[in-house]
Structure 1
Amino acid sequence: MSGGIDGFIVRAMAVGGMIGLAGGVHAQEADVAVPLPPVVVEQTAAPTPAKPTKKKTAKSKAKQAQPAAAPSPAFAPESGLSGSPANRAGSLTVPDTAEAIAEIQRIPGAVTIVPDTQFRNTPANTVKDAIGWVPGVIVQQKWGPDARLSIRGSGLTRNYGNRGINAYMDGVPINTSDGLFDLFEVDPSAYRYVEVFKGANALRYGSNSLGGAINFVTPTGYDADAFGVRVDVGSFGFIKSTINGGGVSGPVDYFINLSGYREDGYRQHSRQEMVRLNANLGYRLSANAETRFYINANTWDGQLPGEVSKAAALNSPKAAHPEWLRQNQQRNIDSIRVANKTTVRLDGTTLEFGAFTHQRRVDHPIYEYVDYNVSDYGGFLRATDDRLIGGFRNRLIVGAGILDGTTDYYQHANLTGGVKGAMTTSQLWKAKNHSAYAENSFYVQPDVALIAGIQFSHAVRDQRDRLGVNSGSSTYDNWSPKVGVLWDVDPNWQVFGNISRSAEVPTFDANAFNIKAQTATTYEIGTRGRRSDFIWDVSLYRAEIDDELQCLTIVMPWFTAPCALTNADKTVHQGIEAGFGLAVLQSTFDFDDSVWLNVSYTYNDFFFDGDAVWGNNNLPGVAPHNLRAEVLYRHTSGFYAGPNVEWVGGNFYADNANTLKIDPFALLNFRVGFEQEKGWSAYVDGRNLLDKHYIATTITAGNATPNMELFNPGTGRAVYSGVQYRW
């Protein structure tokens, strides 16, 4: 690993060359379109396939889908988003998938829409099922629904919980007010699509973190199935059942999705039980206005098997940590989120505003018995104006948001068996997050936009220790500008670049009031597009970070501190995010099938930059190479089958000192199924078919020793299957 930009450029050229070779297949002219296989790099509807050499019959032509809409040119109307709302047949508050794709492609940076067609014929239970194929997104599964989620190295050393990414459901924050978020609330069976905004490309939501934002969007009554039911079963006692439905009656529409799941778990003491409800109710106030109410309620009871040594993780991966067993460590959470969003669409201007509250009850026996309640609330206001100024198109977005909350936090001694003992900690945490932002896109040419934006954020972290031990308060004010350019080379090809500033405020659970905010300047270039039998999405970035937040584990014979928060000095995160889909064969067995090669590759080069203690060492926690690749046969009847591999390549480390390595690994998977828009669908999904023993994720330390218990073993051979009916 070399530490400078020159070294990164050399590595980028090498990887870029490989991608270029892979994409060098000549795209033949086409006249019809078939649905693209589930490739996350897809940014628009399916491309047209290569023209077959044999003459099609009338029957085979009838099976083909209609030609898909290409990416919108720079001055295309907003698919009804601001032009003629009275003529819209769908929801005013929630864009459908096609509208969301057209909207997100106006951003001059790495962004992705993942439609539900990518993940609905899977177990659809964890965030990895939904966005695991997005280049640049790293999901390291621990157990059950728990995982480390990172984009561009965000929250890289966060050992428990996730930070560094702003997570939303239907545009409403699900992060706690101090910045953490739980993945268990994410139920992929409930969403119409998922939006991924990397880095400062999430300014549209006022997000200002290194990792960006992810927005999970549920259907409305306008695009929901009238009725749906599904059952999924699998290895290690996995079973999940889901029922949903929606519809429209006059000015009212509704959607509801209820799911329940349980599993015994691959590892000892990892049983999980969960129920998740997602519902919304919309009311059309007029042709130009709509309001929508949301409710998301969840309950999770989960056992925790705990981290173990590297040797134990590889040689006895099913075993739990003995001390975690003795203490009966668990994580049990009840949560409910209630929100409202109202949209008013006028000629050229869209106004959105809303309010929300999110309540959580956490019962969490670990090394001590953690017991707390979280009460968060807030609101948002956003206006989008799109009009001609002096003959040039101009698009202005301005907005503001508030996310405040309190946490009533207690710790008790954890007696044998998870019994609550004497109180050891009693604290009241108060967090405030107020932001205002603006972004303007000025089209100097119909196909070239210059973008400038800025955000101001004001945050307060206040901790009151009722035992008089550890109280304090900190205020963080940050300005974060952004400039960029977006060029529509043609209706199916975009080139973009931007320079942005980001800031991230510490979380509460590590005495945040005496820690600096993390700031970064990120440089990014990239391209996305499609041809008749090839789609691509490639980004290169470099983030130069000051005061990176690190959450380091300290292990002593009598005590383990799971997160001692500190600031690194200067660090660099740089990398490549590349995905493509290539039709390698057309009309293989008959006129209506194809074979696709789907690839998602992420290159991570994260390191200290002349640190006084760690020098130019690699940052711990993530491998340099992450690849997912699939060869998939797909027939227009709905049948598909094919193998795929997941490769985590290159040694990486569990500590800043780079003394304890995690080995690379590769997993072989295979999936087969039948899927259609309405009626019956079914699948069988085999994972880690060679039963590879590997390290799935690690918590991190400053200096690690070979026997430190930092590791979570990956899941062994597993098979999942499911059947669903959509009407």
Structure 2
Amino acid sequence: MSNLRRALLAAPCLLAIPAFAQDSIPSTPPVTVIGERERLTTESNEAARTRLWSSPGANSVVEARDFQERAGATSVRDVLEYTPGVFAAPKWGEDARLSIRGSGLARNFHLRGVAVYQDGIPLTQADGSGDLQEIDPLAYQRVEVLRGGNAFSLGSTTLGGAINFVTNSGVSAPGGTARLEAGSDGFFRGQAAYGVAVGPYEAYVSNSWTQQNGYRHNSAGQANRFNANAAYRWNDQVETRFIVSSNTIWQQIPGAVTRVSALNAPRTPAFANENNNYQRNINTTRLGTITAIQATPELRFELGGSYVERRLYHPIFQIVRNQTGDVNLFARGSYDGQFFGLRNRTSFGVTFAEGSTDNKRFINNYGIQGNRTSQSEDLARTTTLYAENALYILPQIALVAGFQGGFAYRSSRNILNPALSGAGNWEWANPRLGVLYEVTPAIQAYANLTWSTEPPTLSDLIALVPLGGFSRLNAQRAYTTEIGTRGQHGRVAWEVAAYRAWLRDEIQLLQGPTPGSSLAQNLQGRTIHQGVEVALNYSIADNLISDGDRLSTRAAWTFSDFRFSDNATYHDNQLPGAPRHVLRQELRYRHASSAWIAPNIEVVPQGFYADNANTLRSNPYTLFGIRGGVELIPGRVTAFFDARNLGNTRYISSASVLPRAVANSAVFEAGFGRSVFAGLQVRF
């Protein structure tokens, strides 16, 4: 019996685990009437869920209240903790190693395999790489998670799909907000925000600042994040929104250590990191705009773009100094009308991204910049065209077909050693087929078959230490089958999906040309990524102790089976970097007075491997926590707290993967110990 089949057979047992029920879960798209305060360039969380659930695939909406109601929520792991299929492993500070459905497992730094957007405009760079330190959970209205090929509508071609962080607007967050938080290891965060909507004008601005000493030594950080947007409604059909954001981030890096050190001395950093003052410091400025045109009640267009400038100062074993400029342009549209008397919904668009990087490296002499060792001018260009059509052959059944085509260009001109220069082109055509069945007005079932193509990033093509110059890698290709259901019945709400992806030329770290080195290379043959994703919500009882109270629970389970398939070297080994099972559950009691308390648990019953050879793995663990809050003045003043890892359990949260590890390989990141955070928010 296959591992996936075993997991599917185990799913009914998990379905018995109750979970915290959402207030409402829509299915059929409602008729939207634009009112005085509604906008064309923003939408409500419910409207976003309806839009995403009109696609036959696993898409989720995480509302801001899920992560803003507690203190110390700073990273993507905190934001998406109850979103199954998303593995966000904390590393240090606010950084996390992100993978969706096994995407980017071989990326030991930064990000690949998941397209990240803010307000529908890319945050990831033109080559597909990026950083998650730029996100600010306090500034968002919601987060949209489109797993795998379900990110078709954004033009994403990645295996992992896309995450879209949607900033508050003057409509979603009117008035002022002042917030202060403090907690363990010198953590402090503050926010000041204000939103306003008057007539055709609307604006929102947020500024937050964070500082912390960090759980591990040499992991202190400071950050200032500014987000603002303003919109003008030209008439009933046209609206334009302008977006401005900037980030100033200083972050020390404690580094990966051996398994023994991570479990026995979790606060201890890697010696080289502390000795050479490893850091990752980022300064970004982002300008963007989007114009929405409601040409007719059925036909809609969006046009926009952005320019992002990033400066990276990154002392590691060398000092890396990068300056990047990214241009993003997009045009997309949708039509929801009739085709020969049948309801027909079409979406289409084109995206273009171009980024240039001045890439310099210097000797790191105990934290002091020495002589230049490398300099290159790197260029990435990616263009994607897409279209998807849903034809309702019956009022409850839609047949979906889509196509995505694109091309990418990457180049690196080495200034000091022209022989290491190189360039390459990649092209792709990705079809998509699916079916969406509305079983009842509140329950959906779906299935799809989607192809994806992921061209290499510049980091894949250019080794940090030049060992042969520009690599000519193939694009990573996959086709994924997926079935699932979502909806609400009585007190139970759920999202369940099962998938299997067949990959060719997966980009993985393999043995380099010198002993102990590893380089991004294409795996020979196929690899398999398959799994089950379950989110359940259940309202256990109302009026349990007093009138108006509620006892509820929520749970998220992710089963991941990522493996080689008849590989000449690694046979059918598991791919390293992600655990097979992750289960999180919370039991919540909310009093009629608005006070609430929620104990929670996280279980990883089996450690994950850190190398392709499956010789070294992390440890299993169970973490307990409790969080709660109360409205001191209803609608105005709220206090909240979050206590984590109450047992002070020592565990490994993340690992850098290797082709073959040994017992003392320094690849592990120690998980955070016991910590407590508290905060106060005032609305006015």
Q: TM-score, with normalisation over the residues of structure 1?
A: 0.90
- Report if aligned partners of 1:91, 1:220 keep a CA contact under 8 Å in 2: no
Query: 418, 426, 430: which one pairs with 1:480?
Result: 430
Q: Secondary structure at the match of 1:125?
A: coil
Q: Indicate the residue corresponding to 1:79 in structure 2.
A: 32
Matches within 5 A, 1:5-404: 7-22=2-17, 42=22, 46-47=23-24, 70-73=25-28, 76-80=29-33, 85=34, 87=35, 89-122=37-70, 123-347=72-296, 348-404=298-354
* 1:625 corresponding residue in structure 2: 581
What are the equivalent positions in structure 2 for 1:575-654 lying under 5 Å apart? 575-654=531-610
- C-alpha distance after superposition, 1:59-117 (max 9, x if no partner): xxxxxxxxxxx5142xx44424xxxx4x4531111111121111111010000001111
- 1:52 is matched with none
Q: Contact conserved, 1:155 with 1:164, CA < 8 A, in 2?
A: yes
Distance 1:8 1:484, change over 3 A: farther
Partners of 1:495 and 1:636 in 2: CA distance: 35
Q: Tell me the distance in 2 between the aligned counterparts of 1:554 and 1:262.
A: 39
Tell me if the contact between 1:627 and 1:647 (Cα under 8 Å) persists in the aligned partners: yes
2:378 corresponds to which residue? Answer: 429
Cα distance in 1 between the residues matched to 2:200 and 2:509: 50
For residue 571 of structure 1, the aligned residue among 520, 523, 527 is 527
Q: Distance in 1 between matches of 2:326 and 2:545?
A: 56
Paired residue secondary structure (2:9): helix
* Post-superposition offset of 1:642: 2.1
Which residue identity lines up with residue 519 of structure 1 in the other structure?
A: R
2:444 is matched with 494
Change (3 A) 1:109 1:88: farther
Q: Counterparts of 2:186 and 2:174 in 1: how far apart (Å)?
A: 29
Q: Secondary structure at the match of 1:514?
A: coil
Deviations 1:164-198 (A, max 9, x none): 00000000001111111111111100000110000
Deviation of the 1:510 alpha carbon: 3.5
1:296-350 Cα distance to aligned partner (Å, 9 max, x none): 1001011111111110111111011111111111111100110000000122101
Whole-angstrom distance in 2 between the partners of 1:575 and 1:196: 17
In 2: Cα distance, 1:500 partner to 1:365 partner: 41
What is the DSSP-based 3-state SS (H/G/I as helix, E as strand, rest coil) of the residue aligned with 1:203?
helix
CA–CA distance in structure 2, aligned partners of residues 332 and 651 of structure 1: 31
Tell me, yes or no, if the aligned pair for 2:546 and 2:592 is still in contact at 8 Å: no
Offset of 1:586 from its aligned partner? 2.5
SS at match of 1:652: coil
Check the 8 A contact 1:324/1:366 in 2, yes or no.
Answer: yes
8 Å CA contact retained: 2:17, 2:555: no
Deviations 1:674-700, CA, capped at 9 Å, x for gaps:
258721111111000000011110000
* Alpha carbons 1:177, 1:376 under 8 Å: kept: yes
Partner in structure 2 of residue 53 of structure 1: none
Q: SS of 1:661's equivalent? A: coil
Letter in 2 for 1:115: E
Q: In structure 1, the residue corresponding to 2:501 is in which secondary structure?
A: strand
Partner of 2:467: none
C-alpha change, 1:554 and 1:646, in structure 2 (3 Å) is farther
Deviations 1:661-718 (A, max 9, x none): 2111110101121258721111111000000011110000001000011010001000
Question: Structure 2: which amino acid aligns with 1:539?
Answer: A
Alignment check: 8 A CA contact 1:206 1:399 kept: yes
Q: Distance in 1 between matches of 2:484 and 2:27?
A: 18
What displacement does 1:9 show?
A: 4.6
For residue 652 of structure 2, what is the aligned residue in structure 1? 695
| Residue identity in the other structure for 2:523 | A
C-alpha contact (below 8 Å) 1:386/1:396 kept by paired residues: yes
587-596 vs 147-156, greater mean Cα deviation: 587-596
Q: Which runs of 5+ in 2 are unaligned?
A: 463-470
In structure 2, distance between residues paired with 1:656 and 1:170: 37
Q: Which residue number corresponds to residue 489 of structure 2?
A: 531
CA distance change for structure 1 residues 9 and 183 in 2, over 3 Å: closer, same or farther? closer
The answer to whether residue 463 in structure 2 is matched with residue 463 in structure 1 is no
Secondary structure of 1:18 counterpart: helix
Residue-by-residue CA offset, 1:32-79 (whole Å, 9 max, x unaligned): xxxx95x7xx5xxx05xxxxxxxxxxxxxxxxxxxxxx5142xx4442
Quote the residue 1:51 is aligned against: none
Structure 1 residue 389, shift from structure 2 partner: 1.7
Cα shift readout 1:409-439 (whole Å, capped 9, x = no counterpart):
01111102x1111111111111110110000
- Taking the aligned partners of 2:15 and 2:671, their CA distance within structure 1 comes to 33
Q: Deviations over 1:104-154 (max 9, x none)?
A: 110100000011111111223211221121011111000011110111011
- SS in structure 2 at match of 1:185: coil
Structure 1 CA distance for aligned equivalents of residues 69 and 654 of structure 2 = 26
**Amino acid corresponding to residue 197 of structure 2 in structure 1:** V
Q: Is the CA contact 1:308–1:708 (under 8 Å) kept in the aligned structure 2? A: yes
| Residues 553 and 700 in structure 1, CA contact (< 8 A), matched pair in contact too | no
Q: CA contact under 8 A between 1:670 and 1:686: conserved in structure 2?
A: yes
TM-score (normalised: structure 2): 0.96
C-alpha deviation, 1:249, in angstroms: 2.6
Matched, 1:413 2:338: no
Once residues 246 and 451 of structure 2 are traced to their aligned partners in structure 1, the CA distance between those partners, rounded to angstroms, is 35
Q: Does 1:682 align with 2:636?
A: no
CA drift of 1:8 comes to 3.9
Q: Residues 36 and 199 of structure 2 are in contact (CA less than 8 Å); yes or no, is this contact kept in structure 1?
A: no
1:254 and 1:281 in contact (8 A); partners too: yes
2:403 to 422, 434, 454: 454
Q: Runs (4+) of structure 1 moved beyond 3 Å? A: 20-23, 551-557
**Residue of structure 1 equivalent to 2:661:** 704
On the 8 A contact 1:341/1:352 being kept in 2, the answer is yes
Return the alpha-carbon distance in structure 2 between the equivalents of residues 365 and 590 of structure 1. Answer: 58
**Aligned counterpart for 2:499 among listed residues 528, 541, 560:** 541
Segments of structure 1 that go 5 or more residues without pairing to the other structure are: 1-5, 24-35, 48-69
| Residue-by-residue CA offset, 1:609-631 (whole Å, 9 max, x unaligned) | 00111100010011100010111
Q: Do the aligned partners of residues 553 and 132 (structure 1) sit closer, same or farther apart at CA in structure 2, a change above 3 Å counting?
A: farther
> Does the 8 A contact of 1:230 with 1:242 survive in 2?
yes
Q: How much does 1:555 deviate?
A: 12
Structure 1 stretch displaced more, 87-96 or 261-270: 87-96
CA deviations over 1:528-553 (Å, ceiling 9, x no partner): 01122111110000000001111468
Question: 3-state DSSP class of the match of 2:6?
Answer: helix
